[in-house]
């Protein structure tokens, strides 16, 4: 049998060595490529993790609304209004007026201003004339309406008489009557009321006065009335500031107040019977020092944990529980990452503990008790403290802005638990800082209506007048009544003795 021999040439030793070197070089290139791809994959994984954190942060920011943050309801977009959700729970009461509470309705008066008698026509049976017939009964129906507005002009004649000695003596003009022609205090007070209390612009106030009363005014006249009113009530404003500074418990807040084309701040300091408002270019300590209330305040100051408030160490600080409650709700809706489930769990535990404490506080107030039974609050207080501690641990990695924010929240709740629950041990304090927020609600509406106040002087005048009228209302005096007293030269004075 013949064995075939391959005709392919056998590679030489040098060729094999050269081929081996080439393969080795190719292998090294492949290894380097694999290494580069592995590094690229690692960088992409890290970048993806970073982007996931950023996306979670942005989603959390977009998810903020008036239900889970300090944003006002007006900031909620119309296409994404949050479903109303009450954290108070069911009260057990039926809708409407509570049983036993007197109602209010329009009732007839004993002495009407005008009486109009309506006689019947002929007898509806026989057609006889009833003019001389005896009265068989009268049905009274009263209509409440406004009288036709009429501007009254009062002329003051200052008589001058010549004495037999030849001296001429003239009568003195009444207080406030300083010009040959001028508007009276009621016209001025109405302008100030519409301009400063109902937030009409100067031109719209002038238009309203013309439409309602036939009084033709210029917008500058309305502004002048407001300036005069602010000057008249300034001494009362100083008394109001002193009243808040000496109060046992006060509420403090601030809000953006756009003025003169730049961001300014409206600062509120209030107590049960006084409201003190100021406008300043700054938001922090410089503005609070300029207001002059908190530096003198030694009672319990309730606020929203804005850091500059804590610099006043002479006061006892109480933090708004409603603010931290909204922050905890935001945690349950936005927590992300590996520890999200744990973070949401402790946030829900803190929410339940706060609401349980509030329920016991409300029940104690309804009973007229001076304090809550310590046995009722011991457990929710312990659960709240534990939730704060575990929340700090769960967010300790602080990966991304969102987790840093959650970590700061739990840390603040842990470190300032006493300030957040001061209302549990002192029923005179409310659960939230709503009394302060109510004082700035109407001024905030003023900015929404106007967009901005043109000058800082105008903003300061608004704050002075609002301080005066808001305090008068808290003391049972109507805003227009108080303004009218000021325009007559005798501003309302609080009876604080």
Angle made by CA atoms 394, 396, 398, in degrees to the nearest 5: 115
Which residue did the predictor score with more confidence, 24 or 337? 24
**Nearest-CA neighbor of 438 among 246, 316, 271?**
271
Q: Out of 79-83, 144-148, 159-163, 328-332, which region has the weakest mean confidence (pLDDT)? A: 79-83
Which residue did the predictor score with more confidence, 323 or 401? 323
Confidence class for position 92, pLDDT limits 50, 70, 90: low
In this structure, what are the phi and psi dihedrals at residue 129, rounded to the nearest 5 degrees?
A: -75, 130
For the cut 70, the answer to whether the pLDDT of residue 463 exceeds it is yes
Q: Would you say 70 and 303 are in contact if contact means Cβ atoms under 8 Å apart? A: no
Q: b vs e for 338-366, b when ≥16 Cβ sit within 10 Å of the residue's Cβ?
A: ebbeebbbbbebbbebbbbbbeebeebee
Residue 430 confidence (pLDDT): 94
Q: Using CA atoms, how far apart are residues 433 and 316, in angstroms rounded to an integer? A: 15
For the cut 70, the answer to whether the pLDDT of residue 383 exceeds it is yes
pLDDT tens digits for range 194-249: 999 999 999 999 999 999 999 999 999 999 999 999 999 999 999 999 999 999 99
Close Cβ partners of 75 (under 8 Å, ≥ 6 residues apart): 65, 66
For the cut 70, the answer to whether the pLDDT of residue 73 exceeds it is no
For the cut 60, the answer to whether the pLDDT of residue 255 exceeds it is yes
Residue 304 confidence (pLDDT): 92
Take residue 417 and report the two structure tokens written for it.
Answer: 């638990």
Residue 93 confidence (pLDDT): 66
Q: Provide DSSP, 258-297.
A: -BTTB--EEEEEEETTEEEEEEES-SSHHHHHHHTSGGG-
Residue 335 confidence (pLDDT): 86
Length of the chain measured in residues? 497
Q: Would you say 92 and 363 are in contact if contact means Cβ atoms under 8 Å apart? A: no
Average pLDDT (318-325) is 94
Q: Is the alpha carbon torsion for 41, 45, 51, 55 positive or negative? A: positive
Give helix 321-334 / helix 13-62 axis angle, nearest 10°.
Answer: 140
Close Cβ partners of 73 (under 8 Å, ≥ 6 residues apart): 66
Confidence class for position 91, pLDDT limits 50, 70, 90: low
Q: Out of 5-9, 84-88, 114-118, which region has the weakest mean confidence (pLDDT)? A: 84-88
Residue 18 confidence (pLDDT): 82
For the cut 90, the answer to whether the pLDDT of residue 321 exceeds it is yes
State the number of CA atoms in the 13 A half-sphere of 296 facing the CB. Answer: 12
pTM (2 d.p.) = 0.81
For residue 300, what is the DSSP state? Answer: E
Order of strands across the sheet that contains 265-271? 274-280, 265-271, 249-256, 300-303, 316-319
pLDDT tens digits for range 400-443: 788 889 999 999 999 999 999 999 999 999 999 999 999 999 99
51, 136, 187, 336, 347 from 401: Cα distances, Å: 12, 84, 56, 11, 18
Confidence class for position 78, pLDDT limits 50, 70, 90: low
Residue 346 confidence (pLDDT): 95
State percent of the chain over pLDDT 70: 91
Residue 384 confidence (pLDDT): 96
What's the mean per-residue pLDDT of the chain?
89
For the cut 80, the answer to whether the pLDDT of residue 27 exceeds it is yes
pLDDT tens digits for range 35-55: 989 989 988 888 887 787 778
Residue 13 confidence (pLDDT): 76
């Amino acid at each position: 049998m013949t064995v075939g021999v391959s005709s392919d040439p056998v590679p030489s030793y040098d060729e094999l060595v050269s081929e081996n070197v080439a393969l080795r070089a190719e292998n090294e290139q492949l290894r380097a490529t694999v290494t580069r791809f592995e590094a690229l994959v690692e960088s992409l994984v890290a970048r993806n993790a970073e982007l996931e954190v950023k996306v979670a942060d942005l989603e959390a920011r977009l998810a903020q609304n008036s239900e889970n943050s300090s944003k006002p309801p007006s900031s909620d977009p119309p296409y994404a209004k949050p479903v109303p959700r009450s954290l108070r729970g069911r009260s057990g009461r039926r809708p409407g007026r509570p049983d036993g509470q007197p109602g209010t309705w329009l009732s007839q008066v004993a002495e009407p201003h005008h009486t109009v008698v309506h006689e019947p026509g002929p007898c509806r049976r026989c057609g006889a004339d009833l003019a001389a017939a005896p009265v068989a009964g009268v049905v009274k129906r009263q209509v409440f309406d406004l009288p036709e507005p009429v501007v009254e002009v009062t002329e003051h004649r200052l008589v001058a008489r010549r004495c037999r000695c030849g001296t001429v003596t003239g009568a003195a003009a009444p207080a406030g009557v300083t010009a040959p022609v001028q508007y009276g205090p009621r016209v001025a007070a109405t302008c100030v009321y519409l301009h400063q209390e109902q937030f009409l612009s100067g031109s719209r106030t002038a238009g309203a006065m013309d439409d309602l009363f036939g009084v033709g005014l210029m917008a500058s006249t309305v502004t002048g009335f407001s300036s005069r009113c602010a000057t008249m009530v300034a001494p009362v404003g100083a008394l109001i500031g002193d009243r808040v500074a000496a109060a046992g418990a006060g509420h403090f807040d601030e809000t953006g107040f756009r003025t003169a084309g730049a961001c300014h701040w409206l600062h509120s300091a209030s107590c049960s019977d006084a409201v003190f408002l100021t406008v300043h270019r700054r938001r922090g300590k410089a503005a609070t020092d300029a207001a002059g209330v908190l530096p003198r305040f030694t009672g319990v100051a309730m606020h929203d944990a804005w850091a500059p408030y804590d610099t006043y160490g002479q006061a006892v600080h109480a933090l708004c529980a409603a603010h931290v409650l909204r922050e905890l709700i935001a945690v349950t809706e936005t927590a992300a990452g590996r520890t999200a489930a744990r973070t949401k769990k402790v946030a829900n535990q803190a929410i339940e503990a706060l609401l349980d404490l509030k329920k016991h506080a409300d029940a104690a107030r309804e009973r007229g008790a001076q304090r809550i039974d310590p046995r009722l609050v011991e457990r929710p207080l312990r659960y709240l403290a534990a939730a704060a501690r575990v929340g700090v641990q769960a967010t300790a990695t602080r990966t991304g802005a969102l987790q840093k924010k959650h970590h700061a929240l739990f840390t603040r709740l842990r470190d300032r638990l006493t300030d957040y629950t001061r209302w549990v041990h002192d029923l005179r304090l409310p659960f939230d800082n709503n009394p302060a927020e109510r004082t700035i609600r109407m001024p905030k509406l003023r900015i929404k209506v106007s967009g901005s106040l043109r000058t800082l002087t105008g903003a300061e005048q608004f704050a002075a007048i609002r301080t005066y009228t808001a305090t008068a209302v808290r003391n049972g005096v109507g805003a227009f009544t108080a303004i009218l007293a000021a325009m007559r030269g005798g501003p309302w004075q609080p009876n604080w003795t």
